[in-house]
Structure 1
Amino acid sequence: MKNKFSWYSPLTQNEVDEAWDAGILTVDANVLLDLYRYHEGTRDSLISSIEKLKCAKWLSAQTAEEFFRNRKKSILSSRKTFKEAQDEIDKLKAKATEVTQALKSNRLVPSSITEKLSKDSDELLLEAAKAIEEEIKKHPDFLDDDPILEKLYGIFANSIGDDFSEADKKTHTKTAEERKNKKIPPGYMDKDKDGDRSYGDYFFWRQVLDHAKAQAKPVIIVTSEKKEDWWEIISGQTIGPRYELLKEAYEVTGKKALIYQTDRFLSYALERLGEKKNEKAVAEISEISELRYAGNAVRKTTQTCSISTSTNNVGELSVILGRPVRNFTGSGHFSPQMAKPPRLEVSLIKGPSGIPMYKLGGGTGTVFDFNLHIKATDNTELLPEGLYVFEYQAMVE
């Protein structure tokens, strides 16, 4: 039994050492794209760990293609988060002013209390706004000068796999479609993506296994994926890689595969290198990955407008959530564009049964789009799948 199911047996120390010291290390596209989303310390820790490991570093053609196709979008997205943070500070300022004005009109409340509250809140919010401004100034302009890209060029120099031939691509596309319909991992959770994008995970997987087989070496796969078509998830807890993936990797390559999420990989890499644990970096990687996982859970978003002008946009944003998550974001658009970035008010008017206590917010970083965010207040609870309908009003003051 042990010999027949050896792919399922825990790795021996010799197998672990062989993979980390003489195997092949490869990553998916989001592992690279996330480098633009991390703070400098986290980014440097991950890149440095990859550089120092003894094993060979290699990228699939699928990973390289997705990285270069989405690189600029990731850079611009990271900039947008600063604007969203500034919007949140502005909303707090407006709310603080509203509260202090209400207290001032209450004659039973001593004026000294409202004066102190107003003064302290103004100072704290001003300090926060200045801190965000400083972070914006320090944040590199990766579109103009990109040291991350130069590092990646060095790490993966002459280590990029070839894409499928036209004939092989047709064959693998057919296989990917069949696997998707039969829910064979990986990639079937991407069935709602457009065109070849729904086959991306399988193409990546196939190219990695083909390369590992040709090199006759074990492979370490680092992925940012958190979905069930990569991981065995029981009662909301991730147990490990899907057994189908472990089995297929062994059958194709003759070696056991090691599959890690990015945060777990960094922890193990630092340990292998004999370096100090970087809990802050690991936590940030986990948080970024969780945010993407929540975004991927959104199956469909529709928007209707009752008022649509350059100064006032009122409507509903409907989001279909495909699986339970702790938080998710829905995005809408302004047509015509607003005269300037508006103030946004949002409420949840309809949702599936069993919604736990939640926090709701929104942000407008531009004059042409906006985001609505909902998060379970208790981190141990999940927002149930189903239809969520948000009512919003965007106003230019």
Structure 2
Amino acid sequence: MNGLYDGEFTGFKIASPEEIDTALREAVVAVDANVLLDLYRFRPQTSQDLINTLKSLDDRLVVPHQALREFWRHRQRSQGSPRGATKTATDALAKSGRSMCDALTTWAKAVGVDDDELSDLASRVDGFIDTLRGELQDVLDGADADRGGDPILEQLEELLAGRVTAPLETDEWTECMAEANRRIESEEPPGYKDAGKQDNDTPEGGAGDYLVWYQATRYGKEKSKDLLLVTRDEKEDWWWREQSDFVGPRPELTLEYHQLTGRRLFLLRPADLLARASVLEVEVDQASSVDAGRVAESDEEPPAELWTLPALAALLERLDREAPVQAAALRLATPDQNGRVSREKVYELGGYADDRMLRGFTRPVRRLTATLQGEGAVPTRVAPVFVARYPDGVKASYFGVPAEVPALLEELSSPSPNPADEPPSSDGPDTFGAAG
């Protein structure tokens, strides 16, 4: 006979605060790349507090090899993010100052204010904006002075010595890629929310999260310990969430780790780790946990926008000129094909040799989408319109499109109605089909 949390229901047991504290003291603690990268985004005190907390874990700390690969790949961008954020803010302030001065000029003309008085008001606006911009720059300069060079990298070199898992052998890597692609296709955690990365320029494509998971769980199995993963990733393919509350790891992940090791899985965000640092007898600034949470909130992705008929038409027009095979393939992802284009059909359209790889096939689509987004012809937050799918292994089996696209493709392929065949309308000529 079984109980409430036995067998397939193991993953539904929610960890108590006391169990999380015990895990912090005893479990293997695996750190994701985003945690290391955020050290460059936190205020200096928060970064130091997090490093001190990680140091207290001693030999229980581990960084999956894939996480370190992603750290080095993105480090320079994260290192410059405080400077970039400051520039964005100061540029926005300057733009606001110009808008206020324009508003004052319009107002002055309407009420008959003389030029001297208007000039005085504009000067006060300029002075206020300059003061704010100077204060923002002072904060940045102070942070740079506190850091001096790259003390984060220096401390990480010491902290992670002997704490990074070995890279996977070729056969194991291939097996992991196949499993990651299968999970993305069937929407099994973790990593299926990265489906849009499958055909990017990195060796792992959309498999990064699964590789981190695989390497961390195998290390936990090797050590025969509970596993606590620290990540800033808040997507649903990692977390069991109830509205805005983070309950714990996805039950499927907890069950998978239990079946692999007989042990328990825990999940914390950097802000949660800092809030519990006292369990590890580490003293941290009270504001550090809040700062870590603020950075996580600022990094949340806005909701995706849908493809529209004009946007898709603009993309296809550009593809026709620069990537006709990709344009022809995309046009086939219609409702009668369930929004899919087979690998075989792509080879047929391109006249490709059998030994040709399709990695990079969607690169022109991504490039032209980005160009059109810059021109304002395509919404900035649309999902990738043409994505390689890998349900059977490391080779793309087919290409898919977002749910709204097949109907748009069908509409674009339909001939525009002949006005001579249309009955007269009291509302004037119908121009809706002109965009198609």
Quick check: TM above 0.5? Answer: yes
Offset from partner CA, 1:180-218 (integer Å, 9 cap, x none): 111110000001102513000001001111000110111
- What is residue 220 of structure 2 aligned with on the other side? 212
Cα distance between partner residues in 2 of 1:61 and 1:133: 37
1:46 alignment partner in structure 2: 50
> Residue type matched to 2:154 in 1?
E
Which has the larger share of strand? 1
Question: Over aligned residues, Cα RMSD in angstroms?
Answer: 3.3
Q: Determine the C-alpha separation between the residues in 1 that align with 2:375 and 2:13.
A: 57
Q: 1:290 — aligned with what? A: 297
- The counterpart of 2:177, out of the listed 168, 173, 177, is 173
Instruction: Give distance in 2, aligned partners of 1:105 and 1:14.
Output: 68
Q: Is the 8 A contact 1:189 1:227 kept in 2?
A: yes
Alignment of 1:248-259 (within 5 A): 248-259=256-267
Correspondence 1:355-370 to 2 at 5 A: none
Equivalent residue in structure 1 for 2:76, among 72, 76, 82: 72
Alignment of 1:1-397 (within 5 A): 1-2=3-4, 4=6, 5-11=9-15, 15-53=19-57, 56-107=60-111, 117-118=121-122, 120-140=124-144, 145-193=149-197, 194=200, 196-235=204-243, 237-270=245-278, 272-273=280-281, 275=283, 278=286, 280-294=287-301, 301-304=369-372, 315-321=376-382
Mapped to 1, the partners of 2:29 and 2:303 lie a distance apart of 26
The alignment partner of 1:122 has SS state of helix
Amino acid at match of 1:239: V
* Cα deviation digits, residues 118-177 of structure 1 (max 9, x gap): 454333212111112223433439999211011112222211111111011111111111
2:349 corresponds to? none
Give the deviation of 1:179 after TM superposition.
1.2
Range 33-42 or range 221-230, more displaced = 33-42
Distance 1:320 1:17 in 2: 39
Is the contact between residue 93 and residue 125 of structure 1 (CA under 8 Å) also seen in structure 2? yes
The separation in 2 between residues aligned to 1:54 and 1:19, in whole angstroms, is: 14
Distance 1:3 1:314 in 2: 54
Query: Residue type of the partner of 1:8?
Result: F
CA contact (8 A) 1:100 1:114 kept: yes
> Alpha-carbon deviations, 1:54-88, whole Å to 9, x = none?
67211111111111121112223432222212211
Deviations 1:342-371 (A, max 9, x none): xxxxxxxxxx9xxxxxxxxxxxxxxxxxxx
Q: What is the total number of aligned residue pairs between the two structures?
A: 316
| Structure 1 portions without partners, runs of 5+ | 306-312, 323-351, 353-397
> For 1:319-339, what per-residue CA distance to the aligned partner results, in whole angstroms no more than 9, with x for missing partners?
3445xxxxxxxxxxxxxxxxx
* Letter matched to residue 304 of structure 1: L
Cα 1:173–1:107 shift into 2, 3 Å: closer
TM-score by length of 1: 0.70
Instruction: For structure 2, list consecutive stretches of 5 or more residues without a partner in the other structure.
Output: 307-365, 384-403, 405-436
* CA contact 2:221–2:260 (8 Å) conserved in 1: yes
Secondary structure, aligned partner of 1:104: helix
Residue 301 of structure 2 aligns to a residue whose secondary structure is helix
1:76-130, CA deviations, whole angstroms, 9 ceiling, x for partnerless residues?
A: 3432222212211210221121122223223367999867754543332121111
Give how far 1:53 is off. Answer: 4.2
Whole-angstrom distance in 2 between the partners of 1:199 and 1:295: 22
Q: Secondary structure at the match of 2:196?
A: coil
1:28–1:223 Cα contact (<8 Å) kept: yes
Task: Give the secondary-structure state (helix, strand or coil) at the position aligned to 1:140.
Answer: helix
Kept after mapping to 2: 8 A contact 1:75/1:142: no
Higher relative contact order (CA 8 A, sep 6+): 2
Identity of aligned residues (%): 25
